[in-house]
A and B are shown apart, each in its own frame.
Chain A
Amino acid sequence: MSAGSREARRDRALLAAWLAAVFAASAVSHVPALLAAWVIAAAALRRGSLRVIRRVLAAIVPVSAGLSIASVALLRARSGDWPDPTPFVALLLRTTLVGFVTLSVLARVRLPRALAAWPTLSRLLAVTLAQIHALRLLATDSLLGLRSRLVRKPRALDVVRGASGVTATLFTLSMRNARDVSDAMRSRGF
């Protein structure tokens, strides 16, 4: 067995373990169990964990914490008593645990290599990702152009107008470009 296929199998096994882990973690609402899972995950996925925790703190904690605070305020206003904090702590632990495991595993897996066993899916994802990269550059350039043309900060309507204009152009460009990428991949045996 070649090193490439061994690594592909390792990547696929890691993805399967990740799927099982996140579904299992999403079923848990017991705080000690979630804390134990956090400790195990942090120990098993410690390489690069600080960067991942920073992303979790920036992307996941504000949503869970914001909704929890609003809920606690509402429940307190309704009943006059402070609600039990345990479910809110469990929710925060669960969402951050799933986020941490997801981001850590995805940083360790080379997805194109793991998915190479499914050529059609690989081709579809390659086309999509290539388009996303190209379209994001175009969309960013267009929005920067929009900002530079306005003397004030763009408002919602300005952004919507700008996005509409660029979408029509992107539609035609991306159709042509995607066909080229797809044909190139097919000619290489995908």
Chain B
Amino acid sequence: MHVPDGFVSPQLTVPAYAVAAPLWVWAARRHFGHASAESLPVVGSLTALAFVIQTIAIPVPGGTSTHLVGVTLLAVIFHPLAAFVCESLVLVVQALFFGAGGVTVLAINALAMGLLGPLAGWLAYRAIRPASEKAAAFAAAYVSMQVATLALAAILALQHAIDPAYFPMPPAVTLTAMLLPSLTIAGAAEGLYTVFVLSLLRRANVRGLA
């Protein structure tokens, strides 16, 4: 789902960093700033959890696989800004310690997968929760996945429009390649996963969660 390094030029990656940087500072101050001694373990723990969830591969017909993201869960339990900080840290750890994802596109991936997606999911959750909490959790995760994927596909389409010689893939190809697994398998899997985890956390009655 990530946009890898080399697909997007600094014409877009630098402005994305300019947008993401103040949001990172604001989100970190708002959610984790006042008592970092207490909150750092929580951030680290949630980041690690999101990282591990993203390593769980789901088999997709045709022999390939997709993976869960798990950030909508954090947005629903805590807040979209908390999810944004955690997903950004996941991307930093992936880029620095595992050489995966990408450092030039980190802000773009963080904004799409950590902010836009979870924010849309969180809004969907709040809108549907009065009717049914399970339906709300499923819809939140599904919507979050599609919004994040659409945002990343839009960035690639924009890059193609700015300079087709830099990124020659037509939007039809990137949109299909990204949205097809997201709409069919990944969105539904993320939805079911979020419903199951929320139910388990409710039953476990963990203090401070759900």
Instruction: Give the B-binding residues of A (Cβ under 8 A).
Output: 19, 22-23, 25-27, 29, 55, 59-60, 63-64, 67-68, 70-71, 74-75, 83, 86-88, 90-91, 94-99, 102-103, 106, 111, 120, 123-125, 127-132, 134-136, 139, 143, 153-157, 159-161, 163-165, 167-168, 170-172, 174-175, 177-179, 181-182, 186
Partner of A131, one of B44, B103, B189, B192: B44
A131 contacts B48, C-beta separation under 8 Å: yes
Answer whether residue B63 sits at the interface, using C-beta atoms and an 8 A cutoff.
no
Contact B37 A160 (CB under 8 A): no
Majority secondary structure, B binding face: helix
State A163–B193 Cα separation when bound (angstroms). Answer: 7
Task: Give the residue name and chain of the A residue nearest to B14 (CB).
Answer: A23
Residues of B within 8 Å of A22, CB to CB, are 5, 103-104
- In whole angstroms, what is the CA distance A123 to B45 when docked? 12
Q: Are A70 and B177 in contact (CB under 8 A)?
A: yes
Instruction: Determine, out of B115-123, B128-136, B201-209, the stretch whose residues face the partner at the interface.
Output: B201-209
Chain B residues closer than 8 Å to A55, beta-carbon distance:
99
Find A174's partner among B49, B163, B167, B193 (CB 8 Å cutoff): B49
| Residues of B131-185 contacting chain A, CB below 8 A | 163-170, 172-174, 177, 185
Q: A70-B169, A128-B93, A181-B44 are in contact. List 18 more A-B contacts (CB 8 A).
A: A22-B5, A26-B104, A29-B165, A95-B6, A97-B6, A99-B6, A123-B40, A129-B48, A134-B48, A136-B52, A156-B185, A160-B193, A164-B197, A165-B196, A167-B193, A172-B206, A175-B41, A178-B44
Chain B nearest CB from A120 CB (Å) reads 6
* Contact of B58 with A156 in the complex, beta carbons under 8 Å: yes
Nearest CB on B from A166, distance (A): 9
Among residues of B, the one whose C-beta sits closest to the C-beta of A15 is B96
Closest to A83 in B: B168
Cβ of B89 within 8 Å of any chain A Cβ, yes or no, is yes
Given A60-B4, A120-B40, A156-B58, verify A67-B174 contact (CB < 8 Å). Answer: yes
A95 to B206, CA, bound (A): 44
A159 touches B58 (CB 8 A): yes
B73: chain A residues at CB < 8 Å are 167
Distance in Å from the Cβ of A137 to the closest Cβ of chain B? 10
- Whether B170 contacts A74 by the Cβ 8 Å rule is yes
Task: Enumerate chain A residues within 8 angstroms of B170, measured Cβ to Cβ.
Answer: 71, 74-75
Which residue of B41, B95, B99, B177 contacts A179 across the interface (Cβ within 8 Å)? B41
Contacts of A174 in B (CB 8 A): 45, 48-49
A91 and B165 alpha carbons, distance in the complex (Å): 9
Residue in A closest to B10 when the chains form the complex, CB atoms: A27
Sampled A-B contacts (25; CB under 8 Å): A29-B9, A29-B163, A29-B165, A55-B99, A59-B100, A67-B177, A87-B164, A91-B167, A103-B99, A111-B96, A125-B44, A125-B93, A129-B48, A130-B48, A131-B48, A132-B52, A135-B51, A156-B58, A160-B58, A163-B68, A164-B192, A167-B49, A168-B204, A174-B49, A175-B41
A160 and B5 CA atoms in complex are apart in Å by 29
Please indicate which of the listed interface residues A26, A63, A128 has the most CB atoms of chain B within 10 Å of its own CB. Answer: A128
CA distance A124 to B185 in the complex (A): 33
* B93 A171 Cβ-Cβ under 8 A: no
Query: Are B102 and A98 closer than 8 Å at their CB atoms?
Result: yes
Bound Cα distance from A54 to B165, whole angstroms: 28
